[in-house]
């Protein structure tokens, strides 16, 4: 076994230049937001040579055996990436709690980036299991990269919601990217919204939150004027501790945008 470990390490050292080039290629693709152009390997081909003399199986085992399945320095990197999200999954706006690391470019098709830190994103169980193991072949099909994508995809609103005047009050979430965005950007957020099932996942949390707000309005906030209640909702919709396009701020934005609600609908 020890001889095998030494042999593998030697193989990786001999092919260091190929791995360094792969990291540089990923960095360039990140700058251009063109990850879909990076080289792929057909799924189910473990013995295919990918980089120098390294096979797909050797590259993917770097993650499973030498990063996840160890207590050494590589595992410390894994743990540091995982805790960097402060427990909230960045793919779903904090609906789920971080459970593992997700390969933004799936290692089954992009084994060169199996242990590249930039390709590893903290992820909840639902996002990890719900995400497809394939990756889009066009710019429009690329999911959002929570850390390397265009900042405007996170600091401009593209998730919205509207209230349904029922008992209890319902809420519907939908994707509505700014009209000034390019068709590619609009398609990407729409795909992300659908792929991660944000409408249903947000709705479940929003329902409980709206019931809580209605209870507060009937209780501790009963003496507040409609205008004051509106300001209260606007402040909650601007809370910087939550993602702009997450369920919490989007829910409060919908409440603040619905005049019948803040003028007395819940009472």
Where are the chain's structural domains?
Answer: 2-133, 152-262
Return the CA Rg of the chain: 23
Average pLDDT, the chain: 91
- List, in sequence order, every residue forming a beta bridge with 100; answer none if it has no partner: 123
Cα 235 from chain centre: 25
pTM above 0.85, yes or no: yes
In this structure, are residues 88 and 97 in contact, taking their beta carbons and an 8 Å threshold?
Answer: yes
pLDDT at residue number 6: 40
Q: Could you tell me which of 63, 46, 154, 159 has the C-alpha nearest to residue 102?
A: 63
Long-range contacts of 3-11 (CB under 8 A, 24+ apart): 8/58, 11/53, 11/54, 11/58
Question: What is the tens place of the pLDDT at every residue in 9-53?
Answer: 788 889 999 999 999 999 999 999 999 999 999 988 889 999 999
pLDDT at residue number 5: 43
List the chain residues with pLDDT less than 70: 1-8, 265-267
What phi and psi values does residue 50 have, to the nearest 5 degrees? -115, -45
- Taking the C-alpha atoms of residue 111 and residue 157, their distance in angstroms, rounded to an integer, is 34
- Backbone angle region of 116, left / alpha / beta, with phi > 0 → left and psi within -120 to 50 → alpha: beta
In this structure, are residues 190 and 245 in contact, taking their beta carbons and an 8 Å threshold?
Answer: no
């Amino acid at each position: 076994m020890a001889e095998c470990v030494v042999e593998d390490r030697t193989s990786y050292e001999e092919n260091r230049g190929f791995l360094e080039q792969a990291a540089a290629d990923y960095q360039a693709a990140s700058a251009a937001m063109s990850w879909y152009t990076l080289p792929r390997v057909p799924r189910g081909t473990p013995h295919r040579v990918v980089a120098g003399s390294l096979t797909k199986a050797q590259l993917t085992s770097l993650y499973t055996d030498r990063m996840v399945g160890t207590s050494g320095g590589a595992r410390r990197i894994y743990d540091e990436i995982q805790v960097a999200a402060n427990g909230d999954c960045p793919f779903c706006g904090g609906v789920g709690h971080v459970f593992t690391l997700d390969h933004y470019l799936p290692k089954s098709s992009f084994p060169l980036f199996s242990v590249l830190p930039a390709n590893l994103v903290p992820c909840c169980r639902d996002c990890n299991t719900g995400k497809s193991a394939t990756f889009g072949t066009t710019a429009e099909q690329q999911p959002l990269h929570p850390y390397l994508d265009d900042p405007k995809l996170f600091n401009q609103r593209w998730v919205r919601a509207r209230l349904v005047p029922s008992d209890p009050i319902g809420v519907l979430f939908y994707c509505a990217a700014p009209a000034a965005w390019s068709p590619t950007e609009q398609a990407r957020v729409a795909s992300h919204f659908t792929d991660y099932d944000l409408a249903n996942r947000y709705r479940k949390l929003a329902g409980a939150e709206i019931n809580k707000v209605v209870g507060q309005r009937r209780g501790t906030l009963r003496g507040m004027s409609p205008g004051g209640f509106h300001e209260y909702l606007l402040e909650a919709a601007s809370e910087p501790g939550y993602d702009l396009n997450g369920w919490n701020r989007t829910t409060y934005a919908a409440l603040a945008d619905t005049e019948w609600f803040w003028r007395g609908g819940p009472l």
